[in-house]
Chain A
Amino acid sequence: MASLGSALLGLAFLTAFAAAALAIAGRNGDERLLRFSRRTVYGFFALLTGCVVIIEIAFASNDFSFNIVQQHSSIETPPFYKMAAMWSSQEGSLLLWAWVLSIAAAAALYATRNKLREVVPWATAVMMGVAAFFTGLMLFAPNVDPFATLSPAPENGVGLNPLLQHPSMMIHPPMLYSGYVAFTVPFAFAIGALITRRLDAEWIRSTRRFALIAWAFLGLGLLLGARWSYTELGWGGYWAWDPVENAALMPWLLGTAFLHSIMVQEKRGMLKVWNASLIVGTFSMALLGTFLVRSGVLQSIHAFGDSTVGPYILGLIGVVLVGSTALIVSRLDDLRSEKRIDSLASRESVFLVNNLLLVGMTAVIFWGTFFPLISELFTGEKASLAAPWFDDYTTPLAILLVLFTGVGPLLAWRRVSWDSAKRVFRVPLAVSAVVTLGLLVFTDVADSLWALALFAFAAFALTGLGQEFWSGASARRRLTGEPGPQALVGLVGRNRRRYGGYIVHVGVIVLLIGIAASSSFQTNRDVELRPGESVVVDGRTITYVKPTVKVDEEKLSFGSLLRIEEDGEVVGFLRPSRAFFRPTGQETGTIGSFFSGEATTEVGLRAGIGADLWIAEEPNIGAVQGRVRRADKGFEACIQGGPGTPPECKALGALMRASVGNPQREARALDQISRLQSLAAEDVAKSYLDDTAPSTFRVIVDPLVTWMWIGGIIALAGALIALWPTRGRRRGALVRTEADARKEAKYREIRDAELDHAAGKLSDEDFASLDAELRREALEILDRVDGENGNGNGNGAHPREPEKVEPG
């Protein structure tokens, strides 16, 4: 099996090269070569799928001759975690990277099979180049071969770390990888567009979806990681500005900027250099994230053994940065904007501001993350920056971002007249003022001015977005005569991208409200309680009712039953605990061995719309540990058979001695011993129930933190709406050419303008001139499409013109 896997991987490596070579050979429009190259990419995907399947089968069937299986799984590992253990290894995660890339590349080439005939060959070459790099890494770099074998095969594996045995931990890495990897597609097409100087918006239209998918996956990955940290790690936070977290946040921020600024290029033909640079930056950041977790360059909670692949990835980042920069510089003439910004009060200039804020935020995080290296370079001393420094910079930037998120959708493209501005800003400003006043009067939000500013801007932005939906829906009702709710659904359905985007905005703002409230107004206390004692934290009475114990073969778990009272009424019970695991892959041994493995905190969490009550316990197991030591000693003495040992001990000792050299008996003796030991362990652990030693509890009251997760889910739903294929496409109109796409985009712009006008965002005068201009442009496109169809020859004669519409 392993050799089959190695063969498939080797073949995949060659296939990646072949696909790239075929694509470049067919760059002048040789349809046959291009089709062949595309199918070779599908083949690459099939080969890597084969590799993944082989590894998964090995995990499922406990094939410990596979090094990767032996190191990361065991017979006892639950099936679900067996399937997911692949990416908890270095080599498995590289395989996952390459596999996801093969999916993305195949999908991208399928989606563009009738478009961008000049750009696609180069994009194929770039994607397959990256793919060859990662497959080559597994084949040639030391210690990262997923098909390395062990001979003879051990009987059992080391097992999977219990801390990682958490559902979100199993989904979190593939989400992040999918995000990182999917950014390869827009990057590759950008490079292709630069090489062929096809620098209109078509490469963006064709890969925008991939950028959005990447963005959504990365966001989901970040959210799951934060959730895991909050519920599992026992420190009560969700974000620590740890280098590895930052490494995933940076491409997400740049990706967010990219998703906004490409709209400016699509609509107005501006910001071309900026967009090309942004996607290069985003992809480099994604590679940097992949690199950071594998290098040991920075000190991080996510300690990853110093591994061998770091320098190679760093090399790839260097090639990407130098190559892309040279390419962009050499194409500066072709990247000149087609138009200029008409007015500062326009949507495009707000997009520019939001881009600057996002890039600024990335720059701050980048500086802070790499500060240890920077400081060593300049002062010779490694020094690092803690969370407060990051907060100082990112907080104001995030607050401004919320403000501009509110302003942007209210403004029309190109320019906004004073009258229409007054009309659209009136309600959001009023609501924001009322909310601010209300917060000042009824709460003590004023303690944190940053939080107050954020809430004020959030109220403004949310009202503005609500107004967008409202006025859009009523405009549609006037145009179509549909009833209100139906008009709203129709509005979103017909303009998925726009209103999906607005829903994302709502989600992100709600998420930021959650972050602001929970970080500014958190109550955080460490208290020592004995059974029966109570403490009052932020109006909630918490009573330590009694200690609890759970014993099973792999862990001892000590915890407590807590009663929660609010206003004198019992509202619920929480059961925080801490579990002590035997070292992985070890089922027998002394009782004390339970305390030499991992320990995991089970948080007692009472989530609420208003606030979360979060309690983690540090059980006082000093007394238990003492008894465990004595029990272990007694057990040993018992088997040695010293004076005064009870009779069953003597029998056991005799059994032990008799079984030496007799495997069958030995197994029985060991079995008996482990059974007795489990009983003893249970006994000793149960003694904890009578302990009255105080345990330490960390009690956190986190206001509005639930909204962080709710906001995240809303944002993802919005992204999904924006991604959903439009109806026209689903109805068999799968084959679309560039000219069609351009025509459709222009029609959409006309519709947008009509909607903006009907919604009162555009003055009559502005609308008249805009509409006339758009219609003229649409006619030009139509003329061109007709001309090409009449000529019958799209290739050769007009190399820069849209291709001929293909039959079928």
Chain B
Amino acid sequence: MDPQRKRKIRLVVALSTAVLLAVALIYTSFSASTEAKEPSQLLTATPGTSYEMTGRVVKGSIEREGSGIAFRVVDRDGQGESLPVTYDGTVPDPFRGGREIILTGAIEKGVFVGEPDTLITKCPSKFTTKSDG
């Protein structure tokens, strides 16, 4: 086989592999992703479907419940109706009232039940705006 042809075949093989991988990447990313919602949208969400909730913990709402905790969250802008949440598992250090959290879970009987070890609390920002400080 002459080298020119060989190179061309190699190029085609490499490119098709790349395309295949890219398609797989795109396909799996859409099927593996969890929809992100804010508490006010979750009040009316389908029970049982997994969502990634981003919200702000209502100050003074955190209570210990068995081995886990229960609290309420509102939208990040602090507006709207609050959503009850239960979570069983380790709580990150920065977690407390008024902080923004990200939690994956599903609605069960009107309560957002978080999956263990998915609770992420935003670091008390290094670059805080003054209102936070």
Contact = CB atoms under 8 A, between A and B. Distances in A.
A and B: bona fide binding partners: yes
Interface of A: 71, 88-90, 93, 158, 161, 163-164, 232-235, 240, 242, 293-294, 299-307, 360, 363-364, 367-368, 371-372, 375, 379, 381-386, 388-389, 392-393, 526, 528, 596, 598-601, 616, 618, 620, 622, 696, 698
B120 A371 contact: no
B30 A235 contact: no
A532 B18 CA distance: 59
A382 B36 contact: yes
A598 B36 contact: no
Nearest to B36: A382
Interface in B20-71: 21, 25-26, 28-30, 32-36, 52, 54, 64, 67
Contacts of A598: 93-94, 96, 124
Interface of B: 21, 25-26, 28-30, 32-36, 52, 54, 64, 67, 89-94, 96, 100, 102, 104, 116-118, 120-130, 132-133
A598 B128 CA distance: 15
Contact of A304 (B36, B126, B130): B126
B98 to A, nearest CB: 9
Contacts of A384: 33-34, 36, 52
A389 B94 contact: no
The 5 closest A-B pairs by CB, nearest first: A303-B122, A305-B129, A383-B33, A90-B127, A382-B36
A584 to B, nearest CB: 8
Contacts of B122: 300-303
Nearest to A524: B117
Given A304-B126, A305-B125, A528-B67, A616 B90 contact: yes
Given A163-B94, A528-B67, A383 B36 contact: yes
Q: Which of A294, A303, A526 has the most CB of B within 10 A?
A: A303
B122 to A, nearest CB: 3
A375 B126 CA distance: 29
Contacts of B130: 71
Contacts of B93: 163, 232-234, 598-601
19 contacts: A89-B127, A93-B126, A163-B123, A299-B54, A301-B122, A302-B123, A305-B132, A360-B21, A371-B33, A372-B36, A375-B33, A384-B33, A386-B34, A386-B118, A389-B29, A393-B25, A526-B67, A598-B96, A598-B124
Given A93-B127, A618-B91, A622-B64, A301 B21 contact: no
Nearest to B95: A599
Contacts of A88: 126
Contacts of A526: 67, 89-90, 116
B31 to A, nearest CB: 10
A71 B35 contact: no
A232 to B, nearest CB: 8
Nearest to A599: B93
B35 A381 contact: yes
Tell me the interface secondary structure of chain A in the complex. mixed
A305 B90 contact: no
B121 A383 contact: no
Contacts of A363: 25
A579 to B, nearest CB: 10
A622 B121 CA distance: 22
B90 A71 contact: no
B61 to A, nearest CB: 14
A164 B29 contact: no
A371 B27 CA distance: 12
A233 to B, nearest CB: 6
A116 to B, nearest CB: 34
B123 A371 contact: no
Contacts of B121: 301
Contacts of B28: 389, 392
Contact of A89 (B64, B120, B126): B126
A161 B124 contact: yes
Nearest to A294: B127
A303 B104 CA distance: 18
A385 B127 contact: no
A233 B92 contact: yes
A31 B92 CA distance: 59
Nearest to A302: B123
Contact of B35 (A158, A367, A383): A383
B32 A389 contact: yes
Nearest to A375: B33
A360 B104 CA distance: 28
B34 A383 contact: yes
A240 B90 CA distance: 15
Contacts of A90: 127
B29 A371 contact: yes
Given A235-B117, A389-B28, A389-B32, A299 B102 contact: yes
Nearest to A584: B133
B127 A293 contact: yes
Contact of B127 (A307, A367, A382, A388): A307
B124 to A, nearest CB: 5
B35 A382 contact: yes
Nearest to B90: A698
A392 B31 CA distance: 13
Contacts of B132: 305
Contacts of B29: 367-368, 371, 385, 389
Contacts of A618: 90-91
A528 B128 CA distance: 36
Contacts of B67: 526, 528, 696
B81 to A, nearest CB: 20
A300 B52 CA distance: 13
A303 B95 CA distance: 13
B1 to A, nearest CB: 14
A306 B133 contact: no
Contacts of B128: 71, 305
